[in-house]
Structure formats: C-alpha cells, structure tokens
Amino acid sequence: MSFNYLCANMIQRLSYTIILLIFACGFLSAQERLKRSNDRGFSETTRPESTGIANEDSIQQKQSVPSIIKNWQLSDYGATFEKSELDTAMTFFQDYQPYNKISFSNTFTGILGGAYISNDFFKRKYNSDFYFFRTFDAYAILPSQIQYFNTTTPYSLLDYSQSENKNLRTETRFNVFHSQNVNEKLNLAFFYNQARSKGFYDSDDDDSKYHNVGLFGSYQADKVVVHGNVIFNRVQTEEDGGVEPGQNLMDEQLNLRMDDAYGELTNNTVRLSGEYRIGKYVEDKEDEEYITEKFIPRTSFIYEFELSGNKRGFKKTDVTDGFFENKYLNAAETDDETKYSRLSNVFQIKFHEAPDRKYTFGKRAFIGFDQLWYRFPEMDNVSEEFILELPERYNLQDGRFILPGYTWDIAPSVKYSYDRKQSNSYLGGAIHRMEGKFWQWNASGKMYFAGYRSGQTELEGYINKPLKIGNDTTSLRVEGSLKTLVPDYFEQNYFSNHFRWRNHFNNINEMIIRGKINSKKYKASLGANYALIGNYIYNDENALPSQANGELLILSAWLDKDFESTHWLVRSRVLWQSASETNYIHLPDFAAFLSLNYRTVISKVMHFQMGVDTRYTTEFYADAFEPSTARFYLQNEQKIGNYPFVDFHVNLKLKRTRAFFNLMNVTSDLLDGNFWAAPSYPLYKRTYRIGVAWSFYN
C-alpha cells in the first residue's frame, strides 16, 4: 500500500502546511464557556484549577476569557473516555526520556532514540502492533496515546532541550503542540516532535533521530461525537553493534563493532471514530439560576476505522566484516525492507449507565474485521536450499513460483519479493459500572472466529473499591486477564539477509493478576503482580524466536512512596521480581529509583527546585540487542547492573516558563566505570542537558 511509505520530503511539506493552518486558527474567537454532557465523566463546566494546570492568578485576571482546558483519551474502540491531565509541573521536568515515562528501570542502547526494553516484566506493553517496532515504541505517538482537548482559549506548548555541545556529543529535542477550539463543539490540535542524539564517545558513529507529526481533532455534540487523527512517526538509527569487548569505558576512544549499518522504522496511521447517541433531555437541577436541559444518552452506535502502515528497513554496505554470520540473500551488502499494513473496521453498540437511575450498569457489544498485509525483504536470488525448505505444495509456471498466498517472480536480474495477505474477524462485549461511588468494575471478552488468529480468546476485568479510612481516601484495585493468544505472524514467519525462521508455535496461554492499594493521604501505592504463561515465546541466544517448554511463572511486588513537605520532596520507587525459569527470561531481582529534592520560592515569583535522582538495578544478564531485526535476545556472557546512575538537576519555573539543568551520570569517573546501559552498549560519561518549555493559554 503506497500509504505506508510517504517520502520524508512529503511529510515535511505536509507538517509545515499543517502548522500554518493551525496557527491561522488563532485569529478565531474562543468560546467563553464550554458545556458537556456528563456521560463521559466530565462536568458541564470546568474550573481552571481542575484541569491540572498550575494556578496562575495574575494571568487569569488579565484575561477576559478564563483558560479552561479539558482533555481525555479514547479506549475500547472509541466507546470510553478516560480523563487525563496536562503535565505542567516543575517537578521531574528534567526527566524527559520517553522510556523513563514507561518504566523507571530499562535496558537501552545508551542514547536517546535508541532501542530499549523495560526491566519490569509487567511494563512490557506496546502501543504498536508491528512486531519490529516494539523496541522503539516509546518514541512513537500512536492513536491510543492521543489526548483530545476542548479549550476556551488556544493552548500552545514549546519544549526544547540541548546537550553540552551543539556539534559533538550532541542531543537536541524540539516539541511543538497547539490546540484550539474552532467553536464550542469542534477542537483541532497539532503536534510536532523531533529529537536527535549522537553517541558520546569521539569514535562513536551511533546517531539516532526520531520525529512525530500529527493532526487530530474532536467534535462533541449531544447526539454526535467524532474523533479523528492523522499521525506520522519515523525513527532512524545508525547501528554500531556496541563496543568491542575488553575496553575501558573511561577511554575517550572506543572501538566499535560496526560503522556502516543503518536502521529505519516508519509508521503512518489514520484513525476515525464516530458515535451516534440516542437518549433524552432532562431538566438540569444543578443550575439554580437558569432552567436548562441536559442530554442523557441511553444507547450509542459507534464505528471506528483505522488504516496503519509500518516499515522496518536495515542497510549495511559491507557484510564481509564478520559481524553477521549468515548472508542468505546477498553476500556483499544488506538492504532489507519489511512492511506491515492493517485496515481495521469495528462496529459497536453501547448501552450507557443511567445517572438518573439508582441501579444500572453499562453494556456494549462489538464486531471487528482486520485486513493485514505483510511484505518481506526483496531477494536478488532464490537459493535452492531455501526453496527446499518450503512446503512441498508449490507450482512453477511462466517464471513464477507460486504457493497459496505466496508469490515469487523467478527470472534473471529480477528482485523477488514475498507477500502475504491475512485477515481477522472477531467479536466481543463488556459490562461495566464506572459511575458508582461504592465501587467500579468492568468485565470484557473478545474472541476471534475467523482468520489468522482464529481461536484466540481474551478475557479481562477489574474491580476498584474506594475505601474510607479516617480522613484518607484509599482505593483497592484488582485486575486480571485470561488469554489464549495466537503467536504474532512475524514470530512464525520471517526471512532477511541475516535471519530466517519458519516456526509452528503453539498458542500462548496467559493468566495475569494484578493488585494495588493506593492512599492519597500518604501518597503511597503498594502492589503485586502474578503471571503464569504457558508456551511463552522468547528470543534465544541465537536471536531466534523460540518457545518455552512448560509454564513460566513470574512474580513481582512494588512500592511507590512520596514524602513531601513545604521544602522537601522525596520520591521512591522499589521493584522486586522473580521468574521461575531463567532459561527463558532474565530479569533483575531488584530495581529502585530515589529522588531527593529541595524546593523553595525566590522573590515570591520564581519556583526553584534542586535535587538528585538515583537509579539502581542488581546485577543480571540483561538481554543483548540485535540491530538488523531491532530485537533484544537472551545472552549469558555479560552481566550489567550493580551501578548507581546518579543525576543532579536544577528546575526553575516562572509563570508559564519552565527550565532545567541536568548533570547526568555524575559518578562515572568516581566508581569502577561499569556504567553499561545494555550489554556492549555503555551509557555516556558525565555530561549535562539544559531545557526550557513555554506554555501559552491565549
């Protein structure tokens, strides 16, 4: 599908056009007051302090229209709105790395934009369904992550950070966001994020960059609700394979394993969700000054459409250097390209909880259809050995090698491509109680009845129970899932210049239970996780997908606790975990994060914070990174960990402007120099970052 592969120049021109259009909307008048049905969990009017924005009385008094911002995210194929808040706080502003927002402990290739994997097993969730995007998932903005807005005044954010040197060891980030209501019901928003990072060491050619461009919007009326977005993601990396073993990380010059390899990931997505609601108008008794009506929906008909295109490319100009053992397609150079596209349609009917009825719960049912396209790297030749490994049912006619669903053109001087088309059909439903004060709960199920994933079933649910203990608002949440999962198509079938596999894995049987207690008064959360997985799939020591024999049991427990006073803030995060079979998975036994901060106000206007962040994991055989397929795999040769990564930071905030200074890995020349971010990939030595962000509400 040509949609997948818009060229970089086209995307750049489109982004500039969108920027001009969005900011041209700034001349439109904003609405004085926004009204909403409370069906989605939002009140009809919102006070500024309820938006999560820091209190700025001096700014509010000068505005004839108060800045009121509502934002939310969509889930359940567009059926559920989940509240979200803007991040405008000064605290932890310096911790901008995307993977740290997912998990405080990670194995990564040492630079911003490089591959990563969470050391917390239960944080290994991915927004992308493209198998080769998993290790870069944090750098993409996908439809499930979009925060939709409704604003009384335009809201804009500019965010910039820079490393210590603009030309050498450089790291830069620049993010732009703008949201504005065209009228009371229609909001449009735009974002553009870009980052570039070059390896710290003088000889290091490891250079990565990524950017995200998106236009999205929402329309909310009583009976019609529409959300839509168009998003482009791109990640580019120069792959060096890590450093040669046996070197001292304190040396300025390090010998790298490669200097001519390059990887690229792209994702382009269009999603549209529309809802038509049937209900009734009732008198609004909450407004004492005027007699008004509000709409109470009873039934909704929802349709969601999504078209997603993905590509993974890997190039290496010389494969005779011995880094890769196998050369299946070309013995001189590598130019692999793997593509995956998905077209999804989901139809849904939802019966709402009724706020005017005492005993009620919501219900929904849906049916969905996916069309999937796969394309593997092109081949300069088809070896006899490879053909013999294929199933016996084939037909060679008119220079074409044919299998059911597979096609190669067999002719001299022609590159041969391997294409596969699949489909999925599924149905499901859910019942839920989200408005209740006594408790909230949800139970959902999904079953694939036709296509590649036929037989896959997914059952999920949670119970959230608020507990009033004295003057503390405490909540107990228990959630669980029981799934039978068909392995990903790329786990079963793949070939490229350096890797190939054809597997017949059994379905994965997975049971996960999570429990959490949260206390607002004590600013603490305590939880435990349990996973029992049969037929677990992992990447073995040869970086090939393999399936475990028997069952894998993983347990974890964690504690998050903040200690806060007028001038002090201490944030602590502790994780313990254990796996029953270390032949299939390697996890650190213990990981911790501790942040100690002193804060004050200077001259009554400048908010000042100074602190130290420390991250630590126990020593373990962390997974190694395979650059051609962008996957992590098991290794038993190099342990990393048992090293405190310490950062010193200063944060400032003046009205709508935030700034930070971050001195990173400050102990790099004081300890033993064992600062590995991943096997063969060192973290940078002591360096610093500076950054600033501006928010605009008019």
Q: Report residue 170's pLDDT band, with 50, 70 and 90 as the boundaries.
A: confident
Whole-number pLDDT of residue 26: 44
Task: In whole angstroms, give the CA distance from residue 551 to residue 584.
Answer: 10
Task: In whole angstroms, give the CA distance from residue 442 to residue 38.
Answer: 19
Q: Which fold has domain 2-378+417-696?
A: Maltoporin; Chain A (2.40.170)
User: Does the structure show a pLDDT above 90 at 156?
Assistant: yes
The token pair at 411 is: 């002719």
User: Does the structure show a pLDDT above 80 at 417?
Assistant: no
Token look-up 């009976």 returns 223
Whole-number pLDDT of residue 413: 39
598 and 612 Cβ atoms separated by less than 8 Å:
no
Nearest to 316 by CA among 496, 502, 90: 496
pLDDT in tens, 437-449: 788 999 999 999 9
Amino acid identity for residue 134 in this structure: R
Q: Where is mean pLDDT largest: 30-44, 204-218, 512-526, 660-674?
A: 512-526
User: 684: which DSSP letter?
Assistant: P
User: Does the structure show a pLDDT above 60 at 395?
Assistant: no
Nearest to 307 by CA among 345, 343, 274: 343
Q: How many other C-beta atoms are found inside a 10 Å radius of the C-beta of residue 315?
A: 17
Burial of 57 (0-12, 13-18, 19+ CB in 10 A): exposed
Q: What is the mean pLDDT of the chain?
A: 85
633 and 621 Cβ atoms separated by less than 8 Å:
no
At 130 the three-state DSSP class reads coil
Measured between its terminal Cα atoms, the distance across the chain in Å is 41
673 and 644 Cβ atoms separated by less than 8 Å:
no
DSSP letters for 84-105 = ------STTTT---HHHHH-SS
Q: Would you kindly state where each structural domain of the chain is located, as residue ranges? A: 2-378+417-696
Mean pLDDT confidence for 214-240: 96
For the four alpha carbons of 542, 546, 552 and 556, in that order, the dihedral sign comes to positive
Q: Report residue 124's pLDDT band, with 50, 70 and 90 as the boundaries.
A: very high
Mean pLDDT confidence for 420-435: 93
Amino acid identity for residue 270 in this structure: V
Task: In whole angstroms, give the CA distance from residue 67 to residue 632.
Answer: 46
Q: Report residue 412's pLDDT band, with 50, 70 and 90 as the boundaries.
A: very low
Mean pLDDT confidence for 110-136: 95
User: Does the structure show a pLDDT above 90 at 329?
Assistant: no
Mean pLDDT confidence for 26-47: 37
Q: What HEC string does 149-188 produce?
A: EEECCCEEEEEEEEECCCCCCCEEEEEEEEEEECCCCEEE
Whole-number pLDDT of residue 600: 95
**Count of alpha carbons within 13 Å of 626, Cβ hemisphere only?**
20
User: Does the structure show a pLDDT above 90 at 17?
Assistant: no
The token pair at 110 is: 């040492």
Whole-number pLDDT of residue 165: 72
Token look-up 């979200």 returns 84
Whole-number pLDDT of residue 447: 98
Whole-number pLDDT of residue 669: 81
Share of the chain above pLDDT 90, in %: 65
User: 52: which DSSP letter?
Assistant: T
The token pair at 93 is: 């502003």
Sheet architecture: strand order including 395-397: 395-397, 400-403, 406-409
pLDDT in tens, 172-220: 999 999 999 999 999 999 999 999 998 776 555 558 999 999 999 999 9
Q: How many other C-beta atoms are found inside a 10 Å radius of the C-beta of residue 406?
A: 16
CA distances from 10 to 13, 285, 535, 608 (A): 5, 53, 44, 43
pLDDT in tens, 78-122: 999 988 888 777 788 899 999 999 999 999 999 999 999 999 999
Residue 78 gets the label, from left (phi > 0), alpha (psi -120 to 50) or beta, of: left
Q: Report residue 168's pLDDT band, with 50, 70 and 90 as the boundaries.
A: low
Nearest to 500 by CA among 545, 567, 440: 545
Whole-number pLDDT of residue 418: 64
CA distances from 571 to 300, 395, 524, 607, 614 (A): 43, 65, 10, 19, 10
Q: Report residue 391's pLDDT band, with 50, 70 and 90 as the boundaries.
A: very low
Mean pLDDT confidence for 539-565: 96
Whole-number pLDDT of residue 547: 97
Q: Which of 384-393, 583-592, 682-691 has the lowest mean pLDDT?
A: 384-393
The residues, any chain, with a CB within 8 Å of residue 566's CB and separated by 6 or more, are: none
Q: Which of 257-271, 372-386, 557-571 has the lowest mean pLDDT?
A: 372-386
User: Does the structure show a pLDDT above 80 at 33?
Assistant: no
Task: In whole angstroms, give the CA distance from residue 290 to residue 645.
Answer: 59
Rounded to two decimals, the pTM is 0.86
pLDDT in tens, 476-494: 999 999 999 999 999 999 9
Q: Report residue 330's pLDDT band, with 50, 70 and 90 as the boundaries.
A: confident
585 and 118 Cβ atoms separated by less than 8 Å:
no
User: Does the structure show a pLDDT above 90 at 303?
Assistant: yes
610 and 571 Cβ atoms separated by less than 8 Å:
no
Whole-number pLDDT of residue 465: 92
Q: Which of 64-68, 146-150, 222-226 has the lowest mean pLDDT?
A: 64-68
Mean pLDDT confidence for 282-303: 82
